[in-house]
Amino acid sequence: MGTLMITGGAGFIGSHFVRHWCDTHPGDRVVVVDSLTYAGNLRNLDDVRDRIVFERASITDGTVMESVLRSHGVDIVVNFAAESHNSYALLEPGQFFLTNVLGTQTLLEAARRVGVGRFHHVSTCEVYGDLDLDATELFTESSPYRPRTPYNASKAGADHAVRAYHETFGLPVTISNCANNYGSHQFPEKVIPAFTTSALYGKPLQLYARTENRREWIHVLDHCRAIEAVLERGQVGRTYHVGTGQEASIEQIADLVLDELGLPASMKTVVPDRPGHDRRYVLDWTTLREELGWRPRTDLSEGLRETVRWYAGNRAWWEPLIDRMPVDEGRWPTGTPGAGPGAR
Ligand code: NAD
């Protein structure tokens, strides 16, 4: 396909995508752009460092973005760069709007000036708001946007900017909105590694009070293959949902982690809900299945167990990151919404 610029490529999903692309498209050049926030980690790219070019830069810097695009002759941009932690967005909402909305618009503008062949934007199921736990409806690509939290709203703003650059300037864009990812190399602030690392330390697993709230889960490699399908066969201007139909509640995740590690259920403890804690999201991914022939390959239970084993076997990867986590999930105030404490 030529030269890809992958932003946010030192993060969880981005680094898996970089590795996947290097393995499956050895003839392509890959330029990784990442500003290395607390969530970015160059070690995630250790095994591909000799196959990529790395540029430490922020997508909020238009001059640098344009220069990187021109100097490397970039054909395709895949934008993973974002502030991604819903809880942290309650403490620093401005940073989320700066990176996720203005950063994406700045990158779009640089891509428009240079004239790239494709701009793919990685988005989330969370832009649609949440569903009742017993709802039978699913979010389709034409569902209205109803974000409820600063993270969701900032991702929604970015999606609107991407569509506007297509409709107004003819930039050849695609968007994918994906369910909750799990797998190796996910920063320990997110629920599955948070539960696993707590359990490995022998500390209680902190479950938000609405333990029945649930998510649709996807293995990170299935997500990477979906983006690959969109880049290779997707229609310019379209949005593709990436889901699996495999749901699990927060409590079921905690139970599975403890079961895999042979630890007792008594290690679960309930803490107040994070303000704005969404109940449920489920995507209708018919278009991706029927138009592009993509299907998830990983069974949730097997994939989760393999992920828990990866954390158990890779303490040297995650232990240095524990002190970099900006949020203490056990400190949200009860009662009226408001960000309150939460900071570590
Ligand atoms: P992550 O936090 O692990 O990685 C984000 C990366 O972006 C980090 O390496 C960080 O250093 C980098 N970054 C942040 N601000 C930047 C900036 N201004 N310029 C350049 N780089 C910057 O997040 P993730 O879970 O890998 O998510 C990647 C993308 O996928 C995000 O856009 C997220 O919204 C989206 N997404 C994530 C999930 C999920 O379950 N994790 C689901 C759907 C969509």
Nearest Cα to 125, choosing from 219, 39, 233, 239? 239
pLDDT bracket for residue 341 (50, 70, 90): low
Return the pLDDT at 4.
98
Question: Does the beta carbon of 100 sit less than 6 angstroms from any atom of ligand 1?
Answer: no
pLDDT bracket for residue 113 (50, 70, 90): very high
Given a cut of 70, whether residue 18 has pLDDT beyond it is yes
Helix (H), strand (E) at residue 32:
strand 29-34
Question: Does the beta carbon of 154 sit less than 6 angstroms from any atom of ligand 1?
Answer: no
Return the pLDDT at 344.
61
Among 33, 41, 80, name the best residue to mutate to test ligand 1's pocket (greatest count of ligand atoms within 8 A of Cβ): 80
Collapse the DSSP code of 134 into the 3-class scheme (helix H, G, I; strand E, B; otherwise coil) and give the result: coil
Calculate what percentage of the chain has a pLDDT beyond 90.
88
Return the pLDDT at 273.
86
Fold of 3-182+218-242: Rossmann fold (3.40.50)
* b/e sequence 12-42, b meaning 16+ C-beta within 10 Å: bbbbbbbbbbbeebeeebbbbbbbebebbbe
Collapse the DSSP code of 270 into the 3-class scheme (helix H, G, I; strand E, B; otherwise coil) and give the result: strand
As beta bridge partners, residue 32 has: 6, 54
Return the pLDDT at 338.
55
Q: Determine contact, residues 27/51, Cβ cutoff 8 Å.
A: no
Mean local confidence (pLDDT), 93-111: 98
Task: Specify the residue for token string 């900032």.
Answer: 154
Task: Read off the pTM.
Answer: 0.96
Given a cut of 60, whether residue 336 has pLDDT beyond it is no
Question: Does the beta carbon of 11 sit less than 6 angstroms from any atom of ligand 1?
Answer: yes
Mean pLDDT for the chain? 95
Q: In angstroms, rounded to a whole number, what is the distance separating the alpha carbons of residues 268 and 285?
A: 33
Given a cut of 80, whether residue 340 has pLDDT beyond it is no
For every residue of 161-217, which 3-state class applies, written as one string? HHHHHHHHHCCCEEEEEECEEECCCCCCCCHHHHHHHHHHHCCCEEEECCCCCEEEE
Q: In angstroms, rounded to a whole number, what is the distance separating the alpha carbons of residues 65 and 336?
A: 42
Question: Does the beta carbon of 54 sit less than 6 angstroms from any atom of ligand 1?
Answer: no
Return the pLDDT at 299.
97
Collapse the DSSP code of 93 into the 3-class scheme (helix H, G, I; strand E, B; otherwise coil) and give the result: helix
Per-residue pLDDT tens digits for 197-216: 999 999 999 998 888 899 99
Tell me how far the alpha carbon of residue 149 is from its chain's centroid: 15
Question: Does the beta carbon of 34 sit less than 6 angstroms from any atom of ligand 1?
Answer: yes
Distance 12 CA to ligand 1 centre (A): 7
Report the atom number in ligand 1 closest to the C-alpha of 33. Answer: 20
Distance 264 CA to ligand 1 centre (A): 33
Distance 15 CA to ligand 1 centre (A): 10
Among 12, 32, 77, name the best residue to mutate to test ligand 1's pocket (greatest count of ligand atoms within 8 A of Cβ): 12
- Residue 234 DSSP code: P
Question: Does the beta carbon of 13 sit less than 6 angstroms from any atom of ligand 1?
Answer: yes
Looking at 73-149, list the stretches that DSSP marks H as alpha helix, in order from N- to C-terminal side: 86-91, 93-96, 104-114
Given a cut of 90, whether residue 337 has pLDDT beyond it is no
Return the pLDDT at 343.
62
Q: In angstroms, rounded to a whole number, what is the distance separating the alpha carbons of residues 337 and 275?
A: 5
Per-residue pLDDT tens digits for 235-290: 999 999 999 999 999 999 999 999 999 999 999 999 988 888 889 999 999 999 99
Return the pLDDT at 44.
98
Q: In angstroms, rounded to a whole number, what is the distance separating the alpha carbons of residues 215 and 180?
A: 7
Question: Does the beta carbon of 95 sit less than 6 angstroms from any atom of ligand 1?
Answer: no
Distance 263 CA to ligand 1 centre (A): 31
Per-residue pLDDT tens digits for 38-84: 999 999 999 999 999 999 999 999 999 999 999 999 999 999 999 99
Question: Does the beta carbon of 248 sit less than 6 angstroms from any atom of ligand 1?
Answer: no
Nearest Cα to 139, choosing from 331, 36, 316, 287? 287
pLDDT bracket for residue 308 (50, 70, 90): very high
Looking at the chain, list the stretches that DSSP marks H as alpha helix, in order from N- to C-terminal side: 12-24, 62-71, 86-91, 93-96, 104-114, 150-169, 191-201, 220-233, 250-261, 286-292, 300-313, 315-318
